[in-house]
Protein backbone atom coordinates (compact mmCIF):
# COMPACT_ATOMS: atom_id res chain seq x y z
CA UNK A 1 0.00 0.00 0.00
CA UNK A 2 1.45 3.38 -1.02
CA UNK A 3 1.88 6.10 1.57
CA UNK A 4 0.57 9.55 0.81
CA UNK A 5 2.99 12.46 0.99
CA UNK A 6 2.81 14.79 3.96
CA UNK A 7 3.95 18.38 3.91
CA UNK A 8 6.43 19.29 6.62
CA UNK A 9 6.39 23.00 5.99
CA UNK A 10 4.73 25.68 3.92
CA UNK A 11 5.84 28.94 2.35
CA UNK A 12 3.57 31.88 2.97
CA UNK A 13 4.11 34.97 0.82
CA UNK A 14 2.49 38.15 2.06
CA UNK A 15 1.98 40.65 -0.75
CA UNK A 16 0.66 43.60 1.19
CA UNK A 17 0.04 46.64 -0.95
CA UNK A 18 -0.27 44.76 -4.23
CA UNK A 19 -2.68 45.46 -7.07
CA UNK A 20 -6.35 44.95 -6.37
CA UNK A 21 -8.47 42.41 -8.26
CA UNK A 22 -9.97 44.99 -10.62
CA UNK A 23 -6.51 46.32 -11.43
CA UNK A 24 -5.39 42.85 -12.59
CA UNK A 25 -7.82 40.01 -13.36
CA UNK A 26 -11.25 41.67 -13.15
CA UNK A 27 -11.00 45.10 -14.83
CA UNK A 28 -14.80 45.54 -15.32
CA UNK A 29 -14.43 47.49 -18.60
CA UNK A 30 -18.19 48.06 -18.95
CA UNK A 31 -18.73 49.33 -15.40
CA UNK A 32 -19.17 52.95 -14.38
CA UNK A 33 -15.96 54.99 -14.05
CA UNK A 34 -16.15 55.03 -10.25
CA UNK A 35 -16.29 51.19 -10.14
CA UNK A 36 -13.68 50.06 -12.68
CA UNK A 37 -9.95 50.27 -12.12
CA UNK A 38 -7.57 52.83 -13.54
CA UNK A 39 -6.18 50.42 -16.16
CA UNK A 40 -7.81 49.56 -19.48
CA UNK A 41 -8.83 45.99 -20.27
CA UNK A 42 -6.82 43.93 -22.77
CA UNK A 43 -7.80 40.68 -24.47
CA UNK A 44 -6.29 37.30 -23.63
CA UNK A 45 -6.19 34.18 -25.78
CA UNK A 46 -9.33 32.88 -24.08
CA UNK A 47 -12.50 34.34 -25.64
CA UNK A 48 -14.42 36.55 -23.23
CA UNK A 49 -11.57 36.82 -20.70
CA UNK A 50 -9.84 40.17 -20.24
CA UNK A 51 -7.07 41.26 -17.90
CA UNK A 52 -6.02 44.78 -17.03
CA UNK A 53 -3.25 46.32 -19.10
CA UNK A 54 -1.03 46.21 -15.99
CA UNK A 55 -0.33 42.50 -16.60
CA UNK A 56 0.25 42.09 -20.37
CA UNK A 57 2.80 39.27 -20.11
CA UNK A 58 0.43 37.24 -17.95
CA UNK A 59 -2.43 37.90 -20.38
CA UNK A 60 -0.32 36.44 -23.19
CA UNK A 61 0.07 33.18 -21.26
CA UNK A 62 -3.64 32.43 -21.20
CA UNK A 63 -4.67 29.37 -23.24
CA UNK A 64 -5.17 30.19 -26.89
CA UNK A 65 -2.70 33.11 -26.89
CA UNK A 66 -0.17 33.23 -29.72
DSSP label at residue 5? P
Residue 41 lies in a domain: yes
* Residue 50 host element (H or E): strand 50-52
pLDDT of residue 20: 79
Q: Are 52 and 27 in contact (CB under 8 A)?
A: yes
Residue 6 falls within a domain, yes or no? no
Q: Is residue 54 part of a domain?
A: yes
Structurally, how many domains does the chain consist of? 1
Residue 65: inside a domain: no
Q: What is the pLDDT of residues 14-64, one digit of tens each?
A: 878 877 777 888 888 888 988 887 889 999 988 889 999 989 998 999 888
For residue 37, tell me if it sits in a domain.
yes
Domain extent at residue 48: 28-60
Sequence-distant (6+) residues with CB within 8 A of 23 are: 37, 38, 39, 52, 54
User: Under a CB-based contact definition with an 8 Å cutoff, are residues 58 and 32 in contact?
Assistant: no
- The predicted-structure confidence for 3-19, as pLDDT tens digits, reads as follows 788 888 998 888 788 77
Amino acid sequence: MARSAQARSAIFIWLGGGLSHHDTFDPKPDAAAEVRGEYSAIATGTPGVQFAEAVPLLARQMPGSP
